[in-house]
Amino acid sequence: MKLKTIVGSLALLGLATHAVAQTVPAKPERIVITGSSIKRIAAEGALPVQVITAEEIEQQGLVTAQDLLGSLGANSANTNNEVSSNTVFGPDQDRLTGGAAFANLRGLGPTGTLVLLNGRRISTHGQSGSAVDLNAIPMSAIARVEVLKDGASAIYGTDAIGGVINFILKSNYQGAAIGGTISEPEAKGGGGAKRATLSFGFGDMDSDGWNFLSSVTYDKAQILRGIDREWASGYQPGRQLSPETTSAPHANIIGAAGTALPTTGSVVGTGDTTLYTNLNLLAIQGQCEGMPFGVSLAANATLWDRLGYTNANSRYRCGTDYGRQFMLRAPRESWNVVARGQVKIARDHVGFLELVGSRTEIDGEYTPFQFSTTSNALTHLQPTSPHYLNMRTLVGATQFNPTLPIAYRLRMNDWGYRTNTNKSENTRIALGAEGDFGAYSYRVGASSGQAKGDTYLKQGYAFTQKLVDALASGIINPFLQPGQQQTQQAKDLIESTQARGRVFGGKTSVTQFDGSVSGPLMKLPAGSLDFAVGFDSRKEGYEFSGTQGFTCVSTFTAANAALPNSVMGCPGNASSPKLTRDINAVFAELAVPVFKSLSMQLAVRHDNYSQIGGTTNPKIALRWQPTDTFILRASANTGFRAPTPQQLNLGTVELALTGTFRDPVRCADPANPIDPTQCTRASLPYRQGGNPTLKPETSEQALIGFAFQPLSWFSVGMDYWQVKLDDRIRQLSPALMIANYDLFTSNFIRDANGNVSYIQAGWVNAAQSETKGLDFNVTGIGNVGGGRLTAKLNGTKMISHKERLIASQPLQQFVGKWSNVTLYLPWRIDGSLAYKKGAWNTTLSARWSSSYDDENRAPYTANAPFSRTVEPYFVTNLFTTYSGVKNLTITAGVINLFDKEPPFTWHNVDNVIGAGWDPRVADPRGRTVQLSFGYKFF
């Protein structure tokens, strides 16, 4: 009875929830738990493993693996989801993910979390090559998910610094079934999703000695745009928020040498002696907001002045709320296929063959491109054009010379949103065998996986030379009035400039052969000393074809226009040749019974990389159980993460900033600059690429915690953990270096005049990071009113996350503070209350993310009564399942039951997508109704 009680207790604590949905057998089955290679009873482990069953996933309305990870407190809020990572600018880790979604345990990044499928690796994302795309996980075929919240390099090797997420497939399934899910937000505009599933299985492992099962799933999600939600706006002057923009769909006339508006500017009208260096007819007329996404700089003059804009260059200039043009939820279409066969080779020996495949297509939709004609005089608007604006006669711009061409800056709304189609595929075939020879167990397998990712230009991009010719023709009107459209001739000309087709793509591969043997080594006074030894041999491959067929540029200078197939503003990247590396590892593990109440796990693994060299990582874990109701556990280990092939070998590419740049030297004081042109500089180039000198990250980590069941129906667990990382692999983004200019002055490459020519960005080994946190879980289970009531509460308290980029820099605290990659929120808590009685199963679930300090952008937050605190985010979901009709299951529910809006944030949309909100924290759909069904034919 005590054994039954403690197994149930540990199940509640997330240590062994394999036992939750089944009766504990008289002789507990010995199985392999994530985090160990030794077969043992589930309750015997010393590691914090959280298990989520398929039923729990469905009852919380979670459909995709991204949904699941977003609900876990241990998974930090990060930019690695299909919206916030889907961008045409920024560092490689953003631009090359193609709308993929990644895990991020402990806030150590996607590359610090190892994602497994049935205990084995699958290929990383085809373009970035950094981590597994969660879209490749066949969630409809998953039986459970095991989340190891501890470092495990001593067991699994690289990537397991932050923990391990093991998706376990269903097995020994009989019958044929169909299923479907549909969800639709209450608010109009899009964001709905559909899913259809077909699964079947034949044979029974117990009676027939074989089983074959297969599953096919189709998913489709609709786009949700910023214009569909009122709160998604980068222009909220009442909250001190405005976009940093110098372009508009009605072009701003720029002061430039040899053009109608001289660089010194012009007065406007009489009685005002100010020389305005930018002119816009709509701004002078007070009609900027009459254009789609148009904003007035004069409407919030104090704010714009603080950004470095002056009355002379901004009063009569229109802007664009381009943040509102970004999508809130990506359109996605995907297929997942699983086929798995098992056969009993002999009484205690099973062989298997497994095939998993996925295909995902996600569109990324971004703000239209912006350009200035100052880089190519051919693109100026000539006085002979019917669209020429004589500002001298229209508004009394005395210094305006109507005999000269107009230089201007335009947001290319008529070309449409920049849209990329990202296609990714991931396949894996695995075969192997496992079984027992008496008291000894073995496991051997071979697998081969490949991921492929391609990005296509869909619309919104123009061939540079064709764009130059089109603008030079004077047919296109850069000065459209509110409600006015281009002529059909101009529309046809614009369409003829569009660039479409594959812009870049990549492939990753992993071939693995592994095996292990475990069993009793000898008898000790306290019990059996068990061991495991094994090997892991892999070959990883990566190749990337950057901008094949296109040359991506940010300006249409004569030199850029002359480049073959030159395209304005496309998300280009340099190529990486086909690369492979071999990894060979051996590992050993001991489960040592020290006393009856104290056991110890000892593990060590040595990995050798063909490019990097060897590394050895040990681990020790202790489990002390002085009573039937209390367990104390602790562990200490080292870990490592090898740099990815992309980080090592990707070539150099030049891109351009999307916002404006204020030179901290040439424009240290916007009111008295050395060079006024360096106060609001647009499209500043930056360069980045791989770094072949990167070293592996190394870690030291420790954990101590307990599990306690004071009552038969109540249990609580808590773990304190810390991770210290050295030589952290970081991408120095332009935004990071601009914010820390004093640390990276040498990365700002200047010309002979002292102006910045470009910023040198890229991958480096940063100095150090230290992360500390506390995980907790509380569970109560009891019989109420003839039914079963289950209450669960799981959460993570992030105590501290400190980093420094260079050794001479002090450690900087990130918990509770905005950052442009990972948000280290002080608290992330998820809970559920489920009641199951007869054919009914109802679950109320909730997720709470704590408040944090917004981006420290003084111009946006300095004025009272505004606070830099971003409010907490709390959402509640309610789902009910009915299974009272034979072979039929129906689940209906509401996501975001109380229609909670995302909390407002001032952050710069150029750093993290999301204008007025943050996709790393919130769900933009609002209240959403979801209906699912499943019908089993036999």
Tokens encoding 68: 């699941």
For Cα atoms 586, 588, 590, give the angle at the middle one, nearest 5 degrees.
175
Query: What's the rounded Cα separation, in Å, for the pair 419 and 331?
Result: 11
pLDDT in the model for residue 8: 34
Q: What is the 3-state secondary structure (H, E, C) of 272-317?
A: CCCCECEECHHHHHCCHHHCCCEEECHHHHHHHHHCCCCHHHHCCC
**Residue type for position 225:** R
Query: What's the rounded Cα separation, in Å, for the pair 701 and 627?
Result: 28
**What are 876-879's contacts with CB under 8 Å, separation 24+?**
876/844, 876/845, 876/846, 877/60, 877/61, 877/843, 877/844, 877/845, 877/846, 878/842, 878/843, 878/844, 878/845, 879/58, 879/59, 879/60, 879/61, 879/842, 879/843, 879/845, 879/930
- Write the burial class of residue 142 (CB in 10 Å: 0-12 exposed, 13-18 middle, 19+ buried): buried
pLDDT in the model for residue 566: 92
- Write the burial class of residue 832 (CB in 10 Å: 0-12 exposed, 13-18 middle, 19+ buried): buried
Beta strands 440-459 and 294-296, pairing class: unpaired
pLDDT in the model for residue 458: 95
Category of 628 on φ-ψ map: left (φ > 0), alpha (ψ -120 to 50) or beta: alpha
Tokens encoding 722: 């810390």
Enter the pTM of the model.
0.86
Beta strands 551-553 and 566-568, pairing class: parallel
Tokens encoding 76: 């930090």
Domains belonging to the chain, first-starting first, are 2-227+329-366+420-461+498-652+689-728+766-936 (2.40.170.20), 246-320+370-411+464-495 (no CATH)
What is the block-wise mean pLDDT of the chain (938 residues), using blocks of 10 residues? 32 31 41 58 62 91 88 76 55 56 87 91 85 90 92 86 92 94 96 96 95 97 95 86 84 95 94 93 94 82 61 87 90 96 95 96 90 92 97 96 97 93 95 95 96 93 96 97 96 97 91 96 95 96 81 86 89 75 95 95 94 91 93 93 80 75 89 85 82 88 94 94 91 82 88 90 86 96 96 96 85 91 92 97 96 77 66 97 97 97 89 88 96 95
Pick from 100, 742, 106, 543: which is nearest to 364 by CA?
Answer: 100
Torsions phi, psi of 144, nearest 5? -165, 165
Query: What's the rounded Cα separation, in Å, for the pair 573 and 79?
Result: 20
Query: What's the rounded Cα separation, in Å, for the pair 730 and 809?
Result: 15
pLDDT in the model for residue 345: 94
What is the distance, to the nearest Å, from the Cα of residue 137 to the centroid of all Cα atoms in its chain?
15
- Residue 230 neighbours by CB under 8 Å, 6+ apart: none
pLDDT in the model for residue 403: 98
Query: What's the rounded Cα separation, in Å, for the pair 433 and 428?
Result: 17
Torsions phi, psi of 936, nearest 5? -105, 120
Pick from 135, 134, 139, 152: which is nearest to 52 by CA?
Answer: 139
pLDDT in the model for residue 806: 78
